[in-house]
Amino acid sequence: MNAINPIDAVESVALGAPIDVTIENVEKAFGDTPALHGVSLDVKAGELVALLGPSGSGKTTLLRILAGLDAPTAGRVLFGGDDALGLRVQDRNVGFVFQHYALFRHMTVYDNIAFGLTVRPRAERPPKAEIRKRVLHLLDLVQLSGLDKRYPSQLSGGQRQRVALARALAIEPRVLLLDEPFGALDAQVRKDLRRWLRELHDQTGHTTFFVTHDQEEALELADRVVVMSKGQIEQVGTPDEIYDAPASPFVFGFIGESSFLPVTVVDGAVQLDGTPLDLAALGAPSGAATLGFRPHDISIVEGDAPAIVGQIIAERRHGGARRLELEVGSARHRVEIDMAVDHTRQEGGLVAFRPHRWRLFPR
Amino acid sequence: MAATTIASVRKSSVIPGFGLALGVTLTYLSLIVLIPLAGLFWRSASGGLDEFIRISTDPRTLAALRLSFTTSFVAALVNLVFGMILAWVLVRYRFPGRRFIDAVIDLPFALPTAVAGIALTALYAPNGWIGSWLAPFGIRIAYTETGIIIALIFIGLPFVVRSVQPVLEDLDREVEEVAATLGATRRQTVRRVVFPALLPALLTGFALAFARAVGEYGSVIFIAGNSPYKTEIAPLLIVIKLEEFAYSGATTIAVLMLIASFLILLAINLIQSWSRRRYGDV
C-alpha cells in the first residue's frame, strides 16, 4: 500500500459549526455490573479527544452513550448546551466509525457513502446531483477517488476504514465518534492513517472523540487525552501533561513504560529500605509512597553515591539500549532500566542506578 | 520437462488428495444420482417420440404438472415469509421456550410425511377440528388446492428457517447501529441493510422448500382428494401410471418434472452465484 499523501487543499466538509460537548455525572450499569461511575467531561468545539484505557475501562461505553447507541443510567450529555439524551440515535447527528468498519457489503463505495443522505425524509433529502457532488467530494477527501463503483470486499483494510469515515462525514455530523478506528489495521497503515486523520481533523474541525487502548496513538493524535480505568476518568490533560505529570500510578503505568518501587518519605527525602536515595521530595507528605520512573530516565551510579542497587535477572535488547530487569531490595521488587549497549557491567551482576526523573505517589 | 512440471504442480498444492476426492465425488454422484436419472431418460424414450409427446401434451398430465408447480411455488413463498420471521424471532429475541421452538422447527424433517398428511386431513376435513369451524362459512381446505398448499407449507417449513438462521446470527449488529447513526429509521435499516444481506440465504431456503414440495407425495395425497384435473398432483399421477404398468408414461411425467425443476433451481443458483460474486465477503 502506498503511503497516504497529505491532504491537498480541499474545501471544508463541515458545514455546521463544531459544537461543545458536556458530559455530566454519567453513570451506566449493565444489569448489576457498573460500567461507568460518575463520568464528567467538558470538551470544547473542534477538539480532538482521545479516550484511552485498557479493555473494560468504560471508554467504548462512554462513546456509545454519546452516540445514543446506549442510554446512561444517570447523568446528562449536552451537545452545544442542549440536552442530547432526549434525542434518538437517528436525530443526534453524530458520525460513528467502528473498528471493523461495519460497511454495507452489498452496496458500492458510492452507495455506502451516500446512505446517510438517501435515507433522509423526502423533504430534507438533497437532490441526486447534490448527493453525487458531495459523495465524490468526500471520496476525494479520503483519497479514494475512482473507487466509487467498487464493493467493500474489493478494498484493503485501510481503504475500508476511510470509506467508513467518509460515510460518517457525509451526514455533516455535529460530533465525530471513532471506536478504535485503527485497531484492525497493520502497523504501517495505522501510522499513515493516524497522521492523515490528524490532518483531516485540522481541516474539517469536527469535535471528535476517538477510543483507543494504544497510548502512543492517543498521545500523537489527540489535543487532549482522557485516561480511563474501571469506569472512571483517571486524568484529563494534554499529551504533555499526561506524559510528564501523570496523576496516579495507573496513568503513569499506562502511559509509556514504567517501573515502581515502594519507598518511604522522611522529612522530604526518599528512602528505600531505610537507606536514603538522595532524591529530594519537597512538599511530599511523610509516610509510605510509591516511586515511579521510566526505564530510560535513569543514570547508572558508579562508586559509593546513594543509589538503588539491583541484581540483574534478565537482559534483552531494546531499541538503541540494553534493557535490564532487576530485583531490588529485601522484598526483591522487579524493576526495569535501560543501559547503554556498550556499558560494562559491574562484578557480581549488581547494578546501581538513580532515576533523574521520577514521580512520587503517596500510598 | 513435462515430468518436472507435473511434479511441481503436485508439490504446490497445499491441500492433498484432490484427485482422490474428485474421483470419489464423481463416482458417488454417478451411482446415486446420474445413473438413475439417465435410466429415467432412457426409459421415457423407450416408447418413442410420438408416445413422449402424446403423454406430455395429455390434458391430465398438464393439469397435474401445473398443480404441482403452482402449489409448490405458493407454499415456498409462504415459507419464505414466515420462515424469515421465525428465524428472526429465534435469533434476535431471548424468551423461555426458545430452544423448544427451535427443536420443533425440525419436526417436519423427522416425521414420516404420511403421518403429517393424515394429521392435517383430520384437522382440516369438513368434520375435523379446524375444518368444522370453517365449513359454515363455505371455506373448504381439505380436498382442495388450499389443502395441498398447507401440506406443502408444513413439509417445507424447516428449509427457509435453517438457511436464514446462521446468516442472521452472523449478521453484524454494528452494521445496523451504523445505519441508525446515519439517520436510517428501523424500517429503512431492515429494508436496505438487513434484508439484502439475507437475500442469498432466503433464495437458498426458497429453492430448497420449492424443490422439496415439487417432489412431495406422502403428505399431499391424504389431504388432496386426488380428483383428476383438479387436485391430482404430478407425483401421484406417476404412481397411478405405474400401477397401470404404463412405465413409459410414468417416466415421461418424471422427466418433465425433472427438467422443470432443474431449470428453476438453476435459475436460483445463478442468481445466488451472481450475488456472491458481487458482494464477496467482508
CATH of the domain at A142: 3.40.50.300
For residue A273, report the phi and psi dihedrals to the nearest 5 degrees. 50, 35
Let me know how long chain B is.
282
Q: Of A130, A128, A129, A136, whose CA–CA distance to A110 is shortest?
A: A136
CB A288 within 8 A of CB A262: yes
Q: Which of B171, B177, B178 to mutate to test the interface with A (most CBs of A within 10 A)?
A: B178
Distance in Å, alpha carbon of B193 to nearest chain A alpha carbon? 7
How many domains are contained in chain B? 1
Contact across the interface for B178 and A93, Cβ inside 8 Å:
no
Q: Which amino acid is at B86?
A: L
How far is the C-alpha of B97 from the C-alpha of A114, rounded, in Å?
42
Q: Assign A47 to helix, strand or coil.
A: coil
Query: Residue B98's CB: how many other CB atoms inside 10 A?
Result: 13
User: Which ranges of chain B have pLDDT less than 70?
Assistant: 1-13, 278-282
The ipTM estimated for the assembled molecules is: 0.81
Burial (0-12, 13-18, 19+ Cβ within 10 Å), A363: exposed
Percent of chain A with pLDDT over 70: 94
C-alpha cell at A118: 438517501
Strands A259-266, A269-272: pairing kind: antiparallel
Which pLDDT belongs to residue B12? 60
Which pLDDT belongs to residue B175? 93
Cross-chain CB nearest to B280 (options A153, A164, A167) = A153
User: Based on the domain organization, do A199 and A319 belong to the same domain?
Assistant: no
Q: What Rg, from alpha-carbon coordinates, does chain B have? A: 24
User: In which domain, by residue range, is B122 found?
Assistant: 49-279
Which pLDDT belongs to residue A120? 92
What Å distances lie between residue A28 and A50, A69, A85, A212, B174, CA to CA?
20, 13, 13, 20, 20
User: Based on the domain organization, do A274 and A125 belong to the same domain?
Assistant: no
Cross-chain CB nearest to A106 (options B178, B181, B279) = B279
Query: Residue B46's CB: how many other CB atoms inside 10 A?
Result: 12
Condensed to tens digits (0 to 9), the pLDDT of residues A86-135 reads 889 999 999 999 999 999 988 999 999 999 999 999 888 999 999 999 99
Q: Which of A87, A98, A106 to mutate to test the interface with B (most CBs of B within 10 A)?
A: A106
Which pLDDT belongs to residue A105? 87
Q: Give contacts of A116 with chain B, Cβ < 8 Å.
A: 182-184
Strands A321-328, A308-318: pairing kind: antiparallel
**Does residue A323 fall inside a structural domain?**
yes
The continuous run of DSSP H or E covering B85 comes out as helix B59-92
Q: Of B216, B241, B218, B242, whose CA–CA distance to B228 is shortest?
A: B241
Q: Which amino acid is at B274?
A: W
Q: Give contacts of B188 with chain A, Cβ < 8 Å.
A: 119
**Does residue B8 fall inside a structural domain?**
no
User: Based on the domain organization, do A300 and A178 belong to the same domain?
Assistant: no
Q: Assign A97 to helix, strand or coil.
A: strand
Among A226, A251, A276, identify where a domain stops. A251
How many domains are contained in chain A? 2
Q: Of B268, B258, B271, B276, whose CA–CA distance to B65 is shortest?
A: B258
Cross-chain CB nearest to A151 (options B175, B181, B279) = B279
User: Based on the domain organization, do A265 and A312 belong to the same domain?
Assistant: yes
**Per DSSP, which regions of B84-149 are E strands?**
none
Contact across the interface for B280 and A154, Cβ inside 8 Å:
yes
CB pairs under 8 A between A and B: 83
Contact across the interface for B174 and A102, Cβ inside 8 Å:
yes
Contact across the interface for B177 and A102, Cβ inside 8 Å:
yes
pLDDT, average across residues A10-17:
47
How far is the C-alpha of A277 from the C-alpha of A208, rounded, in Å?
45
User: Based on the domain organization, do A168 and A184 belong to the same domain?
Assistant: yes
Q: Give contacts of A100 with chain B, Cβ < 8 Å.
A: 172, 174
To which residue does cell 382428494 refer? B225
pTM of the model: 0.77
User: Based on the domain organization, do A303 and A342 belong to the same domain?
Assistant: yes
Distance in Å, alpha carbon of B281 to nearest chain A alpha carbon? 6
Q: What is the secondary structure of A266-333 as a DSSP string?
A: ETTEEEETTEEEEEE-TTPPSEEEEEEE-TTSEEE--TTSS-EEEEEEEEEEETTEEEEEEEETTTTE
Cross-chain CB nearest to B182 (options A100, A105, A171) = A171
User: Based on the domain organization, do A238 and A272 belong to the same domain?
Assistant: no
Cross-chain CB nearest to A152 (options B183, B199, B282) = B282
Condensed to tens digits (0 to 9), the pLDDT of residues A238-296 reads 999 998 889 999 999 898 888 999 888 888 888 888 888 888 777 778 888 889 999 99
Q: Which amino acid is at A121?
A: P
User: Based on the domain organization, do A31 and A122 belong to the same domain?
Assistant: yes
User: In which domain, by residue range, is A329 found?
Assistant: 257-362
The continuous run of DSSP H or E covering B86 comes out as helix B59-92
Distance in Å, alpha carbon of B176 to nearest chain A alpha carbon? 9
Distance in Å, alpha carbon of B265 to nearest chain A alpha carbon? 23
